[in-house]
C-alpha cells in the first residue's frame, strides 16, 4: 500500500493532481485499487493488487469547509493541515512565527473529522500541532515524524508533549527514516531509526506506532528526475540537513527496496513480539484509519 502526498499551491492544482491519479488508477484497475475505506486493505491483499491512498501534504486547496467534502469525493483520505509555512489554517515548522490553528483552520479540521478525512500534523509548527491536538475529536496522525528527545532541538521532530497528546486522541505516529531527522550527526544506521520506535513505545505504547519512511519504493526521499530542490526554502537550516554522500538521505541499511525486511529483523532483535510487529507494520494504521473513516461518523 502506498500513500501519495504532494504540497500543491491551490484548489485547481490539487483538483488536477487527484483527477490525473484517478484516471491512472482507472486505467490500471487490474493492478491497483484506490484505498477508500478500511475494508479495502483486506481487499487488496485478497485480490493481490497494489493499494494506493490519495493524500496531500498541505491543505491550501481547501477554500472553505465545503471543499473538504469535494476532495473526499475525489478520494482524498488524509490531508496535512500545513506544509512548511503559513497557510490560512496554521503554521508549518519553517515559518518565522507559529500563530497556531486559526479560526478558519478549526472549521476545516472539524469538517475533515466529520467527513472522515485524516488530519495529519507532521510538518506543522509546535503551536499549530498542539492546538489541533487539543481540538481533535477523532484520532490524529503524525504520518512521518521523529522524536525531538533523540534529535535535540529539531523543530521538525515532535516533542514528548505532542506525542503524548497525539496518543490521547487515539492516533498514530509513523517513524520517518530521513537521516537528518533521525540523528543529528553521521553515521546514521538502522539502529538509530529503531531508537525512535523504542522511544515512542516506552512513552505512549506500541499501539501508537507505525512506519512513515517518507521514501519512495527504491529508497529515495526525492523522486528521481522530479527537479524538486527543497533546500531552496527559507529557513531550510532548521532541517539540519546532513548526508554521508550526495543526496543519500536514507539511513545506511534502509536505503533499498527491501528495507522493510531489515527493519523487521531489527524489531525482532529488540524483542518486539510478533503481535507488536504486526501492529507497527500496518495493523495500527488499519485500525486507526478505520476509526477516522468510519461511515457512521461521516453520517453524524
Count helices and strands (H / E) in the chain: 12, 8
Does 236 reside within a domain? yes
What domain range is 209 assigned to?
A: 57-299
The answer to whether residue 79 sits within a structural domain is yes
Phi then psi for residue 173, to 5 deg, are -120, 115
Pairing of strands 209-211, 118-120: unpaired
Q: Is residue 271 helix, strand or coil?
A: coil
| Mean predicted confidence (pLDDT) in 186-194 | 97
Mean of pLDDT values over 28-56: 96
Torsion-angle region of 75 (φ positive above 0: left; ψ -120 to 50: alpha; else: beta):
left
CA pair distance 193, 178, nearest whole angstrom: 9
Q: Is residue 23 part of a domain?
A: no
- Residue 5 confidence (pLDDT): 64
Residues ≥6 apart with Cβ < 8 Å to 255: 219, 248
Q: pLDDT band at residue 227, thresholds of 50, 70 and 90?
A: low
What distance in Å separates the CA atoms of residue 213 and residue 269, rounded to the nearest whole number? 20
List, in order, residues 6 or more apart from 293 with CB less than 8 Å away: 36, 37, 38, 77, 116, 118
Q: What percent of the chain has pLDDT over 70?
A: 94
Structure confidence at residue 122 (pLDDT): 98
Q: Quick one: pLDDT band at residue 221, thresholds 50, 70, 90?
A: confident
Q: Does residue 224 have a pLDDT over 90? A: no
- Half-sphere CA count of 193, side-chain side, radius 13 A: 31
In this predicted structure, which of 134-138, 245-249, 264-268 has the lowest mean pLDDT? 245-249
Instruction: Encode burial over 117-140: b for 16+ CB neighbours within 10 A, e otherwise.
Output: bbbbbbbbbbebbbbbbebbebbb
State residue 104's pLDDT score. 98
pLDDT value of position 294: 86
253-278 tens-digit pLDDT: 999 999 999 999 999 999 999 999 99
Kindly state the average pLDDT of the residues 124-153. Answer: 98
Q: What is the pLDDT of residue 299?
A: 45
Nearest to 1, CA basis, from 38, 262, 175: 38
Looking at every residue in the chain, the average pLDDT score rounds to: 93
- Stretch 88-92: mean pLDDT, rounded? 98
With respect to residue 4, please indicate whether it lies within any of the assigned structural domains.
Answer: no
Please report the pLDDT score of residue 86 as a whole number.
97
pLDDT score of 235 more than 70 = yes
Question: What does the pLDDT read at residue 247?
Answer: 84
Q: Band the pLDDT of 145: cuts 50, 70, 90.
A: very high
Instruction: Give the per-residue pLDDT at 300.
Output: 46
Evaluate whether residue 20 is within a structural domain.
Answer: no
Specify if 39 maps to a domain: no
Spatial contact of 126 and 117, defined as CB atoms under 8 Å apart? no
Residue 6 has pLDDT above 90, yes or no: no
Distance CA 280, CA 208 (A): 8
In a domain, 12, yes or no: no
Lookup: cell for 212: 512513515
Residue with cell 485499487: 33
Quick one: DSSP state of residue 280?
A: I
Number of domains, the chain: 1
Cis peptide before 173 (omega within 30 of 0): no
Task: Say what the pLDDT of residue 156 is.
Answer: 98
3-state secondary structure of 281: helix
| Cα–Cα dist 85/124, whole Å | 8
Bigger pLDDT: 269 vs 295: 269
Question: Dihedral through CA 289, CA 294, CA 298, CA 300, nearest 10?
Answer: -130
> Alpha-carbon distance 77 to 163, whole Å?
22
Interaxial angle between packed helices 160-168 and 126-135, expressed in degrees from 0 to 180 and rounded to the nearest 10: 20
Q: Residue 180: its pLDDT value, please? A: 96
For residue 117, the domain's CATH number is 3.20.20.140
Rounded to whole angstroms, what are the CA distances from 51 to 4, 33, 61, 166, 243? 11, 5, 24, 26, 31
Cα of 291 vs its chain's centroid, Å: 17
- 170: in domain: yes
Amino acid at each position: 500500500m502506498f500513500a501519495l502526498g504532494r504540497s500543491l499551491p491551490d484548489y485547481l492544482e490539487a483538483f488536477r493532481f487527484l483527477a490525473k491519479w484517478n484516471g491512472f488508477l482507472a486505467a490500471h484497475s487490474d493492478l491497483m485499487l484506490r484505498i477508500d475505506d478500511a475494508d479495502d486493505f483486506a481487499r487488496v491483499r485478497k485480490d493481490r493488487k497494489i493499494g494506493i491512498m490519495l493524500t496531500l501534504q498541505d491543505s491550501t486547496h481547501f477554500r472553505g469547509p465545503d471543499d473538504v467534502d469535494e476532495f473526499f469525493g475525489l478520494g482524498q483520505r488524509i490531508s496535512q493541515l500545513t506544509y512548511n509555512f503559513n497557510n490560512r489554517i496554521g503554521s508549518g515548522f519553517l515559518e518565522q512565527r507559529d500563530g497556531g490553528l486559526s479560526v478558519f483552520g478549526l472549521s476545516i479540521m472539524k469538517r475533515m473529522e466529520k467527513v472522515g478525512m485524516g488530519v495529519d500534523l507532521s510538518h506543522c509548527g509546535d503551536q499549530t500541532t498542539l492546538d489541533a491536538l487539543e481540538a481533535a475529536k477523532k484520532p490524529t496522525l503524525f504520518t512521518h515524524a521523529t522524536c525531538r528527545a533523540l534529535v535535540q532541538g529539531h523543530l521538525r521532530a515532535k516533542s514528548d508533549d505532542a506525542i503524548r497528546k497525539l496518543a490521547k486522541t487515539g492516533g498514530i505516529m509513523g517513524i520517518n527514516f530521513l537521516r537528518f531527522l533521525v540523528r543529528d550527526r553521521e553515521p546514521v544506521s538502522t539502529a538509530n531509526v529503531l531508537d525512535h520506535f523504542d522511544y515512542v513505545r516506552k512513552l505512549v505504547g506500541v499501539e501508537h506506532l507505525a512506519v512513515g519512511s517518507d521514501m519512495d519504493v527504491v529508497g529515495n526521499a526525492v523522486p528521481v528526475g522530479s527537479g524538486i530542490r527543497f533546500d531552496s526554502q527559507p529557513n531550510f537550516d532548521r532541517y539540519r540537513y546532513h548526508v554521508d554522500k550526495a543526496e543519500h538521505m536514507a539511513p545506511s541499511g534502509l536505503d533499498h527496496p527491501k528495507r522493510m525486511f531489515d527493519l523487521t529483523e531489527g524489531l525482532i532483535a529488540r524483542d518486539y513480539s510478533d503481535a507488536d510487529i504486526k501492529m507497527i507494520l500496518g495493523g495500527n494504521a488499519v485500525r486507526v484509519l478505520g476509526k477516522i473513516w468510519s461511515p457512521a461518523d461521516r453520517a453524524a
